[in-house]
């Protein structure tokens, strides 16, 4: 790496990492303990400048920080310290990690450290710069439009909407080496300076998105929904940090077919719904997808959109609105017999099931729950009221934590029983229609279930 310093180290030449080498971990000694030479060699192997100091010597700390100035590469200050220094009873002793000192030792620790004092040191602060994206968000955005009936995959509509949002120079896109599948590659071609290829490093992708929003950018990070499970801790910490980021997971459910279960996002809604303050969206057609992406860009918190691999008919006119927290009644009347709730591929299956039921004289209300969190509770309860509590939810996701449980949480408050169709066994690789049937979320199974609960 040393020969490529101009390519990657120079932009990091003002980076200084201070490593606290205190020998002890949570359960005992660390692997290298105080082998400072080993730490130094490891950093130098990556062409870092490494400085070893006594971490308790403030003059040594100050001198190390002085030496860093003018260095043309990142520096690691390796500070040898003693855990618990200043209190003989715990100094360099294991098994004190994460434990509060008992009162007698706490008083001794205060005394050893010089007693109660109110010393305040005000250090010089760097001048505040203008956030990178703060003054560059005024571009004109025209979201894509689609014709009713045309078959368009929502993952493609997501890419189209991102390309439109590129008119705003505060929008940046991060990819995990699947841009030709998530359709973020179109943004990358049009705006290469705002497209970041993170390769197969989903944790780093989310971490970089969090960093970019601190600087005033509006980041979108996209990969297969299944691969976001690798980054869940980073997503969770993004919420704790109150970061504003947008995530897009494609290739969801058994609908992806031949790719098999390792690629099927079947846990993502559960994972994302559990994140504090998150928004979870699951559009069923291209129009709703583009409209939701257009709202995500300025929405606070962790925002997640779930997109489908296959192409399905456009259901809505391009001027339809899709407020987050709402839903759409796609089919229905004032005297429906059963309510069918779906999103993504299962909404199309619910519509097909409604046609089958109509032939049998059963009226079905079909609701598109494109907003999974927040969910449209009033619309759910109204559908249940009209249909006498005959409610079916079909989702291309495992039964735990997804769309069905979101609906059941609403209905439980009113004592309404929900019939829940979801993926309940390990899927195989195969034809999408066969896999949907095997999971019991195809149109025929939805129709048969509706006939059963209506007694017709």
Residue 131: DSSP 8-state: P
Residue 99 pLDDT? 87
Of the chain, the percentage scoring pLDDT greater than 90 comes to 84
Q: How confident is the model over 152-163, as pLDDT tens digits?
A: 999 999 999 999
d(CA 206, CA 344) in angstroms, rounded, equals 25
**218 contacts 172 by C-beta, under 8 angstroms:** yes
Instruction: Kindly report the average pLDDT of the chain as a whole number.
Output: 94
For residue 135, pLDDT beyond 80: no
Q: How confident is the model over 46-104, as pLDDT tens digits?
A: 999 999 999 999 999 999 999 998 888 999 999 999 999 988 889 999 888 888 999 99
Q: How confident is the model over 314-373, as pLDDT tens digits?
A: 999 999 999 999 999 999 999 999 999 999 999 999 999 999 999 999 999 999 999 999
More confident residue, 280 or 9: 280
Q: Which residues pair with 219 in a beta bridge?
A: 172
Residue 136 pLDDT? 54
The C-alpha angle 322, 172, 12, rounded to 5 degrees, equals 155
Residue 1 pLDDT? 36
List phi, psi (to 5°) of 329: -85, 110
202 is catalytic: yes
For residue 456, pLDDT beyond 60: yes
Sign of CA dihedral 172, 177, 181, 185: positive
Catalytic residue among 186, 202, 255, 267: 202
Mapping DSSP to helix (H, G, I), strand (E, B) and coil, where does residue 282 land?
Answer: coil
Residue 9 pLDDT? 60
Residue 149 pLDDT? 96
Q: Counting beta carbons within 10 angstroms of the beta carbon of residue 47, is it exposed (0 to 12), middle (13 to 18) or buried (19 or more)?
A: middle
Q: How confident is the model over 404-443, as pLDDT tens digits?
A: 999 999 999 999 999 999 999 999 999 999 999 999 999 9
For residue 8, pLDDT beyond 70: no
Range 297-325 average pLDDT: 97
List phi, psi (to 5°) of 351: -65, -40
- Could you tell me which residues come within 8 angstroms of residue 151 by beta carbon, excluding any fewer than 6 positions away? 311, 312, 313, 314
Residue 2 pLDDT? 39
Residue 57 pLDDT? 97
**Order of strands, edge to edge, in the sheet holding 16-21?**
16-21, 75-80, 49-54
Residue 134 pLDDT? 56
Residue 3 pLDDT? 44
Residue 40 pLDDT? 98
Residue 11: DSSP 8-state: G
Question: With bands split at pLDDT 50, 70 and 90, how would you rate the model's confidence at 127?
Answer: confident
Lowest mean pLDDT among 42-51, 128-137, 185-194, 210-219: 128-137
All structural domains of the chain: 2-81 (no CATH), 151-313 (3.40.50.970), 328-454 (3.40.50.920)
Q: How far is CA 240 from CA 178, 244, 313, in A?
A: 28, 11, 39
d(CA 83, CA 85) in angstroms, rounded, equals 6
Of the chain, the percentage scoring pLDDT greater than 70 comes to 96
The C-alpha angle 81, 86, 87, rounded to 5 degrees, equals 120
Range 196-212 average pLDDT: 97
State the Rg of the chain over Cα: 28
Q: How confident is the model over 246-270, as pLDDT tens digits?
A: 999 999 999 999 999 999 999 999 9
């Amino acid at each position: 790496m040393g020969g490529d310093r101009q390519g990657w180290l120079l932009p990091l030449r003002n980076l200084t990492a201070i490593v606290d080498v205190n020998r002890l971990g949570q359960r005992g000694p660390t692997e290298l303990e105080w082998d400072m030479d080993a730490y130094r060699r490891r950093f130098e192997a990556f062409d870092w400048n490494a400085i070893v100091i006594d971490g308790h010597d403030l003059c040594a700390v100050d001198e190390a920080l002085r030496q860093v100035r003018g260095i043309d590469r990142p520096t690691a200050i390796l500070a040898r310290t003693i855990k618990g220094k200043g209190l003989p009873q715990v100094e360099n002793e294991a098994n004190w990690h994460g434990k509060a000192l008992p009162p007698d030792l706490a008083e001794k620790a205060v005394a050893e450290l010089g007693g109660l004092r109110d010393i305040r040191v005000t250090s010089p602060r760097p001048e505040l710069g203008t956030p990178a994206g703060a003054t560059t968000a005024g571009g004109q955005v025209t979201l894509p439009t689609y014709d009713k009936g045309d078959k368009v995959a929502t993952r493609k509509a997501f890419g189209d909407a991102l390309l439109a949002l590129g008119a705003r120079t505060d929008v940046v896109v991060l990819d995990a080496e699947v841009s030709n599948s998530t359709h973020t590659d179109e943004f990358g071609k049009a705006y290469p300076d705002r497209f970041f290829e993170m390769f197969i490093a989903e944790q780093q992708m989310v971490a970089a998105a969090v960093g970019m929003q601190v600087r005033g950018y509006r980041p979108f990070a996209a990969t297969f929904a299944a691969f976001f499970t690798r980054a869940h801790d980073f997503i969770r910490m993004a919420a704790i940090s109150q970061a504003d980021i947008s995530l897009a997971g494609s290739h969801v459910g058994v609908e992806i077919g031949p790719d098999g279960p390792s690629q099927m996002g079947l846990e993502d809604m559960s994972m994302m719904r559990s994140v504090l303050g998150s928004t979870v969206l699951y559009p069923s057609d291209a129009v709703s997808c583009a409209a939701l992406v257009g709202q995500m860009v300025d929405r606070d918190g962790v925002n997640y959109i779930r997109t489908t691999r296959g192409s399905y008919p456009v259901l809505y006119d391009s001027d339809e609105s899709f407020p987050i927290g709402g839903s759409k009644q796609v089919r229905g009347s004032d005297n429906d017999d059963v309510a069918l709730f779906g999103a993504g591929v299962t909404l199309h299956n619910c519509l097909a099931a409604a046609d089958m039921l109509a032939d049998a004289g059963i009226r079905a209300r079909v609701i598109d729950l494109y907003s999974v969190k927040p969910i449209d509770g009033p619309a759910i309860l109204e559908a249940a009221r009209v249909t006498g509590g005959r409610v079916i939810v079909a989702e291309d996701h495992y039964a735990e934590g997804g769309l069905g449980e979101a609906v059941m949480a609403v209905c439980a408050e009113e004592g309404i029983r929900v019939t829940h169709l979801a993926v309940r066994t390990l899927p195989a690789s195969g034809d999408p229609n066969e896999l949907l049937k095997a999971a019991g979320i195809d149109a025929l199974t939805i129709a048969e279930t509706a006939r059963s609960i209506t007694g017709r």
